[in-house]
Chains A and B, each alone.
Chain A
Amino acid sequence: MNLLENPIFLTHKRLVHRTGVLAPLIIAGLIGLVFLLGLMESQRWAANVTPHETLGKGFYGWIVGLEIVILFLGGFNRIAQTLAEDQKAGLWDSNRLTPLKPADIVAGYWLAPALREFYMAAVLAGIGLIIVLSSGLPFTLWLGTQFLILTTALFFGLVALLLGMTFQRSHTGIILLVFFLFGPISLSAGPGRMMTSYLLPIYGIGQMFGAINPDSNSDWSEPGTFFGLRVPPLLITLALQSIVSLFLWRALVRKTAHPFQTLLLRWEVIAIFATLVLTQHALLWDVWSGKLATVWEAARLKQNYSDRSSFFLPYTQGLTLFIGAALLAFASPQPEQIRVDAMRLGFRNLGGVFSRSALPLALLLTGIATAGLFSQMMFSLAGSLNVFLVASVNLLEVFLTGVLLLDFCRLRHQRRAVGFLVLWLFALSIIPLLLGAIFTSTIPATFSLLAPGFIALGNQTDTDWPLLYKVLVAHGVIDVLLFLGWRQQWHQLLNRAAS
């Protein structure tokens, strides 16, 4: 359906215009003009000290920053909130019961609610163009950055729909968490090596600015490498965003058509996870070229421990855990759904429950993440077997704990499940770290669910491997206990279903 005939788009456009767009446009215009006047004034006073290009980059950088805040934060929140409110009011269902195609409904909610923010960004982009041209900066800087901002805004719009469909509130909190978690870590660990600096186009935009004056900061002037091949960051960003967006789009359309299904199908979860995690490992490939143990040994001999590459693998482990846990939560079917399936299909055994739960998926995701880790050390595996084993088993245990806890809390505590899940995860992951900080000892901290992988991948000379193995066994015991609890809860539910 043509977007201009799409009733969802037209209605939300009408609602945006009804609340007024002139004032926000004037505000954006005035802010842009302030920067333009600032540039002109700087060019007059500092022309002999600082080149026009450098001044222009500074002022254009502010414009880009503002656009990012308006579109990524403002627009994201607007889309998620609109969808959540329409769901709450029953309008989402009313629209779903019309003959509109699910894709048209999703497109309407994707593109219309953030129109005000889009108009504001467009005004700022126009002023940005004037700044770029009047500073003698290349037009491609403007075109490239605006293109990346637009594609990222569209990508974030889909994420916003996903969250709006799943959660009724706290959308801003989630996006701020992502920004503050991934943004600074990406920057500190090395922006060109981190998948998140491509998914959020931090490196793409930074590299465009950095490429103009390559001597200023080598972090931002090099192209990215993918399995050692040099690839323009813009291409990596577009490829990543396109692949993930494609799967998000499919999930949203399917969920609109069939609201009783889980948000993501298993193969979609696997594809998204594999794309993101293997991209991360591909970006790191030429750091060790599969010889992690050899490179680490060489660094130890030179007593070079300040190498920033030692952050890369712990960061990768953290990213893998975060993405895997989030995807497993989205793909994990509600127990009620499995119970209805059990009643419909007449199965009462735990095998049927197991195959429908997210447990097999947790095993598959562990396999993918382990393959990524293996790629970094496959040519020197004997020297890094400890690292590989601890990091892999830690991944498996975290994923299993997450899935088992989620199901257990849903079965046991029902509507209070989220609260109890957070409580358990806090107890297993954060409290040991706090105890470690209080008693200034690493031993309690090592017992954190998240710790073994980070420690093993941290390239420390004093790693206590026997302790790490004991911690893994302790975490394994927790998983076994959780599994027994999970099994008992399912027995009760299936017996109730049968009666």
Chain B
Amino acid sequence: MAEPLLVIEHLRVDFPDVVAVNDLSLTLAAGDVCGLIGPNGAGKTTTIRALSGLQEFTRGSVRVAGHDLTREPDELKRRLGFMPDFCPTYDRLTAWEFLEHFARAFSVPDRDRRIDECLQLTWLTDKRNALCGQLSRGMKQRLVLAKTLLPDPQVLLLDEPASGLDPLGRIELRKILLQLHDAGKVVLISSHILSELSGFCNQAAIMERGKLVQSGSIADLGRQMKRRRMAVKWRAEGSPAANILTAAAGLKNLAANALDATFDFEGEANALDELLKTLVLQGVRVCEWRAVGDDLEQIFLQSGAKELM
């Protein structure tokens, strides 16, 4: 495993009437893109704000590249990039001037070139002279993302980054996150829209009521899943597929039609492989065999967390 860049241990944040984050521990290594998933009020934003240094925590520790957030906050300012879930911009500055402000603040070398790079990366080159106040929410979101990327931080904390983006913007965001993954950055990205996260997260951390319900690599979590919703399609009518499925153990909520079926499967992943093998060996011409919903959705649904809004 690569060297851990972000280590969170027993993090706890108290609000007057609620424990917003309770005993949260998480370790992410270079290249990890972790989806922080949970319903509204689960503590995602509080966690990200605590990691960025904007929210005081009661207990626990946060280390980024070996530096402690509480003891060496200044060391972390160049290493941590934080993008909030709203878009703080100077409305009467142009996009370029806004980035110039933060490029100066971070003492970014070769400032102009880097600003142009970040504008290009977030598809805002043609908006460089537009006033921030005149940009749409999605564009502001991209501008704040550009600001976050300016100093080339090692760890990025993104709070609901795609919430204001149009479908094209989300696709482009996905590309950027994959680039960051390839560049060995750690990205902790919170969202309650799972489809936003699937496809580029290799880690997931599921929160509910301030607690971390489940965490780990998506592959590992997928293997641990005890129940999954499956869909199967086959070609020829009159095949024995429906009968085989009805007789198979561990299947629930089976809805079989002439050429397809859906069902919930409870059991180990290799038992599901065995079921597919049985279908094929008995002459069923299987043309589609897939889990319904992506892995993240499946993992979330089985995590015990409730009500994803």
Contacts and interface: CB of A to CB of B under 8 A. Distances in A.
A11 B77 contact: no
A90 B92 contact: no
A93 B82 CA distance: 10
Given A15-B92, A90-B84, A339-B16, 8 more contacts: A7-B100, A7-B101, A7-B104, A14-B93, A15-B93, A89-B89, A97-B54, A343-B58
Contact of A414 (B16, B86, B147): B16
A7 B59 contact: no
Contacts of A95: 105
Contacts of B68: none
B266 interface: no
Interface string B49-68: 00011101011000000000
Interface in A406-422: 414
Interface in A377-403: none
Given A10-B104, A14-B97, A99-B74, A91 B88 contact: yes
Contacts, number: 69
A340 B58 contact: yes
A260 interface: yes
Given A11-B101, A14-B97, A343-B58, A94 B92 contact: no
Interface string A95-127: 111111000000000000000000000000000
B234 interface: no
A97 B77 contact: yes
B53 to A, nearest CB: 7
A339 B14 contact: yes
A308 interface: no
Given A90-B84, A98-B102, A100-B105, A11 B59 contact: no
Interface string A62-100: 000000000000000000000000000111011111111
A302 interface: no
Nearest to B53: A97
Given A340-B58, A414-B16, A7 B88 contact: no
Nearest to A93: B54
A122 B232 CA distance: 80
A18 interface: yes
A5 B93 contact: no
B90 interface: yes
A19 interface: yes
A99 B77 contact: yes
Contacts of B105: 7-8, 95, 98-100
Nearest to A410: B16
Interface of A: 5, 7-8, 10-11, 14-15, 18-19, 89-91, 93-100, 260, 336, 339-340, 343-344, 414, 497
B109 to A, nearest CB: 13
Contacts of A96: 54
A343 B90 contact: no
A18 B16 CA distance: 43
A96 B100 CA distance: 16
Interface in B222-260: none
A90 B86 contact: yes
Contacts of B97: 11, 14
Contacts of A100: 105
Contact of B88 (A14, A18, A90): A90
A360 to B, nearest CB: 23
B78 interface: yes
26 contacts: A7-B101, A7-B102, A11-B90, A11-B97, A15-B90, A15-B92, A15-B93, A19-B92, A90-B84, A90-B88, A91-B88, A91-B90, A93-B54, A94-B102, A95-B105, A97-B77, A97-B82, A98-B105, A98-B106, A99-B77, A99-B106, A100-B105, A336-B14, A343-B58, A343-B59, A497-B14
Contacts of B82: 97
Contacts of B102: 7, 94, 98
B88 A5 contact: no
Identify which of A15, A18, A98, A260 gathers the most chain B CB atoms within 10 Å of its CB. Answer: A98
Nearest to B100: A7
Contacts of B282: none
Nearest to B107: A99
Nearest to B54: A93
A7 B101 CA distance: 5
Contacts of B80: 97
Contacts of A336: 14-16
A19 B93 CA distance: 11
B161 to A, nearest CB: 15
Contacts of B14: 336, 339-340, 343, 497
Nearest to A18: B92
Interface string B123-149: 000000000000000000000000100
Identify which of A15, A90, A91 gathers the most chain B CB atoms within 10 Å of its CB. Answer: A90
B275 to A, nearest CB: 49
